Amino acid sequence: MIDDIELLRLIENNSRLSYEEIATMLGTSASEVEQEITRLKEENVILGYTTIINWEKKAPDNCIGMIEVRITPVKNKGYDHLAQVLSKYDKVTACYLMSGGFDLMIIYEDKTLRDIATFVTEKIATQEGVLSTTTHFILKKYKASGVIYDNPERDDRQAIIL
Amino acid sequence: MSIDYNDKISKAVQQVPPSAIRRFFDVAAEMKGHVISLSIGEPDFVTPWQIREAGINSLIEGYTHYSPNAGYTDSRQAICDYLKRRYGVSYDYKHELLITVGGSEGLDLAARALINPGDEVIIVEPCFVAYKATVLFAHGVPVVVETKPENNYKLMPEELEAAITDKTKYIIIGYPNNPTGAVMTLEDYAKIRDVLLKYPDIVVLSDELYCELNYLDSRPASLTQFSELRDRVVMVNGFSKSYAMTGFRIGYVAGPSELIAPMVKIHQYCIMSAPSTAQFCAIEAAANADAEVAKMREEYNHRRRVIIKGLEDAGLSCFTPYGAFYAFPCIKSTGLTSEEFCERFLIEKHVAIVPGNAFGACGEGFVRISYAASMEDIKEAMQLLKEFVEELKKG
């Protein structure tokens, strides 16, 4: 029996592991791992596989905006309707319903500050039900997706009798 | 006239040979190019952040003085709470617990507190190299009981009993075991208890540094859990292995006050007190780091299975280890001695492992492979091991 939480933790940290490798690490067979992963995909628990990239090294001018949006919930649909509409934009990389002083947190990535400003004024502010927006820009990433940036691995363990 | 140092240096010290492991590190250190090390007996993880932060905060607040000899009250209390929570055993922090400089100090204190010259101490080999040395330094006589792979390297009650004489002062048991990775369950310990009940004078020193790294059962099992042995079992434990805190040098001994008191006496004259900063870290570790330990345990367990599979693929037989972070495969099929095997593996494939005879004569024909290393290194090393063994078999 596979512990599916353990399996998910494992592939969340490294999605490139083969079924065989996962099977060895969990003490089971590759076919059982494949079955389990298929099931988790079918249940929409596993949604996709990505690579964590430090884009600041390859496209240092790219911009990320975190946009707080206050909205009026739509009758019968609550907050979902607007959230789903805004999520459809490719450059919206995340959309959350929040507690606190605003309702939706939109994370939006584009080439320039101007692009993000345009998105906010033309695509978000104009939506029916949007009351106000506040846009923050990310200046530097220190940690994202659980990974600390610029954290070179080193092993400083010394020879000692043990 | 030059001084004759042989005459000056204590015979007790001279009789202990230099560590066999050390030589391999020296060879590895001089090698050019990348060497994968599966030889080190310490976690590759950095200490969980909140534990480090507790130490930093104690420095900011100015706790830079000696602690009480036995350790800060809060630290001892936190450790006793931990032992109650994890082992289900109660210790009085005032009289039954001493905070030491790593687990190693506990081994030394026990030897000096208990041994009169000529007293016998039963040592269960293969084992951590310091057991025998601490006994010899204290003018004791080590009596070796050899555990066997066919018994899963467990201490067998009849083998223990055969080694007991009227000179036996105490016995050192260390599970989960370095170097074999063997564990003892409570049922296994119950058989040892039955032997010990026949010999009410024999003290037990139970080294449980790897207690949290048990992949059969995440709860520690220990002789301390038998109340009928409570008056003579001393637990040596610490934070080094379980919490990846080797550099903090913080451990402890727990046991009956009559045995802890003489150890406190030696400790207060020789050590004064364990490092204060590390004691603050220990409070955080003992009280709030179960989740971090569980995460490391899970990662070690994945590596353990990869190592076992790698050894199988290389055609080396290995009993299945369920504790610590070591595997102890047999290399007799290659026709090489342990030292030859390790030296050639290092020179030809650039992978460092440790010859089994470093942990006792019965370790000859075996090697210790540590999986306190990254998964990438482990996988690469296992591939190289397979190639190496195949080349040896081809001649």
Per-residue pLDDT of chain B (395 residues; tens, 9 = 90+): 689 998 999 999 999 988 766 767 777 777 777 889 898 889 999 999 999 999 999 999 999 999 999 999 999 999 999 999 999 999 999 999 999 999 999 999 999 999 999 999 999 999 999 999 999 999 999 999 999 999 999 999 999 999 999 999 999 999 999 999 999 999 999 999 999 999 999 999 999 999 999 999 888 999 999 999 999 999 999 999 999 999 999 999 999 999 999 999 999 999 999 999 999 999 999 999 999 999 999 999 999 999 999 999 999 999 999 999 999 999 999 999 999 999 999 999 999 999 999 999 999 999 999 999 999 999 999 999 999 999 999 87
Smallest Cβ distance to B25: which of A9, A24, A159?
A: A159
The reported pLDDT for the residue numbered A160 is 63
**Residues B56 and B197 grouped into a single domain:** yes
Rounded to whole angstroms, how far apart are CA atoms B82 and B97? 12
The reported pLDDT for the residue numbered A156 is 78
Residue B11 is part of a domain; what is its CATH number?
3.90.1150.10
pLDDT band at A149, cuts 50/70/90? confident
Percent of residues, chain A, with pLDDT higher than 70? 98
How many A×B Cβ pairs under 8 Å? 42
To test the contact with chain A by mutation, choose from B309, B311, B380 the residue with the greatest count of A C-beta atoms within 10 A, namely B309
**Residues B34 and B102 grouped into a single domain:** no
Chain B residues in contact with A24 by the CB 8 A cut-off are 305-306, 309
B38: which 2 tokens?
Answer: 């599966």
Rounded to whole angstroms, how far apart are CA atoms B180 and B368? 7
How many Cβ atoms sit within 10 Å of the Cβ of residue B216?
A: 12
Axis crossing angle, helix A30-42 with helix A19-26, rounded to the nearest 10: 110
**Residues B53 and B133 grouped into a single domain:** yes
Q: Give A52→chain B minimum CA distance, Å.
A: 18
B305–A26 CB contact, under 8 Å = yes
**Residues B65 and B159 grouped into a single domain:** yes
Residue of chain B whose alpha carbon sits nearest to that of A20:
B306
Fold agreement (A4-42, A57-139):
no
B344: which 2 tokens?
Answer: 């050639």
Q: Does B22 touch chain A (CB under 8 A)?
A: yes
pLDDT band at A119, cuts 50/70/90? very high
Chain A residues in contact with B302 by the CB 8 A cut-off are 10, 25-26
The reported pLDDT for the residue numbered B126 is 98
Label residue B315 left, alpha or beta by phi (over 0 means left) and psi (-120 to 50 means alpha): left
Smallest Cβ distance to B306: which of A25, A155, A159?
A: A25
pLDDT band at A159, cuts 50/70/90? low
Smallest Cβ distance to A161: which of B22, B29, B303?
A: B22
Evaluate if residue A146 carries a pLDDT over 90.
no
| pLDDT single digits (tens) B171-217 | 999 999 999 999 999 999 999 999 999 999 999 999 999 999 999 98
Q: Does B31 touch chain A (CB under 8 A)?
A: no
Percent of residues, chain B, with pLDDT higher than 70? 98
Residue B78 is part of a domain; what is its CATH number?
3.40.640.10
B178–A162 CB contact, under 8 Å = yes
Q: State the CATH architecture for A57-139.
A: 2-Layer Sandwich (3.30)
SS (H, E, C) chain B: CCCCHHHHCCHHHHCCCCCHHHHHHHHHHHCCCCCEECCCCCCCCCCCHHHHHHHHHHHHCCCCCCCCCCCCHHHHHHHHHHHHHHHCCCCCCCCCEEEECHHHHHHHHHHHHHCCCCCEEEEEECCCCHHHHHHHHCCCEEEEEECCHHHCCCCCHHHHHHHCCCCEEEEEEECCCCCCCCCCCHHHHHHHHHHHHHCCCCEEEEECCCCCCECCCCCCCCHHHCHHHCCCEEEEEECCCCCCCHHHCCEEEECCHHHHHHHHHHHHHHCCCCCHHHHHHHHHHHHHCHHHHHHHHHHHHHHHHHHHHHHHHHCCCCCCCCECCEECCECHHHCCCHHHHHHHHHHHHCEECEEHHHHCHHHCCEEEEECCCCHHHHHHHHHHHHHHHHHHHHC
Evaluate if residue A76 carries a pLDDT over 90.
no
Rounded to whole angstroms, how far apart are CA atoms B255 and B87? 13
For range A124-151, the mean pLDDT: 91
Q: Where is the domain boundary, B227, B261, B288?
A: B288
> Could you tell me which of B232, B198, B243 has the C-alpha nearest to residue B79?
B243
Residue A58, SS3 per DSSP: helix
A25–B28 CB contact, under 8 Å = no
Opening angle at CA A48, ends A2 and B378, nearest 5: 55
Rounded to whole angstroms, how far apart are CA atoms B368 and B375? 17
A157–B298 CB contact, under 8 Å = no
Evaluate if residue A58 carries a pLDDT over 80.
yes
The reported pLDDT for the residue numbered A45 is 97
The reported pLDDT for the residue numbered B30 is 76
Q: How do the domains of chain A map onto residue ranges?
A: 4-42, 57-139
B22–A159 CB contact, under 8 Å = yes
Q: Give B17→chain A minimum CA distance, Å.
A: 13
Evaluate if residue A161 carries a pLDDT over 90.
no
The total number of structural domains that make up chain B:
2
The reported pLDDT for the residue numbered B146 is 98
The pTM (predicted TM-score) of the whole model is 0.90
Q: What is the mean pLDDT of chain A?
A: 92
| pLDDT single digits (tens) B334-393 | 999 999 999 999 999 999 999 999 999 999 999 999 999 999 999 999 999 999 999 999
Rounded to whole angstroms, how far apart are CA atoms B353 and B338? 10
How many Cβ atoms sit within 10 Å of the Cβ of residue B167?
A: 13
Q: Does A25 touch chain B (CB under 8 A)?
A: yes
Q: Where is the domain boundary, B228, B254, B288?
A: B288
Rounded to whole angstroms, how far apart are CA atoms B280 and B71? 10
Q: Does B27 touch chain A (CB under 8 A)?
A: no
Domain A4-42 CATH assignment equals 1.10.10.10? yes
Residue of chain A whose alpha carbon sits nearest to that of B131:
A162
Q: Which domain holds residue B280?
A: 49-288
**Residues B232 and B284 grouped into a single domain:** yes
**Residues B83 and B189 grouped into a single domain:** yes
Q: Does A148 touch chain B (CB under 8 A)?
A: no
Bridge partners (DSSP) of residue B253 are B98, B236
Question: ipTM of this model?
Answer: 0.78
Q: Where is the domain boundary, B288, B320, B337?
A: B288
Bridge partners (DSSP) of residue B98 are B253
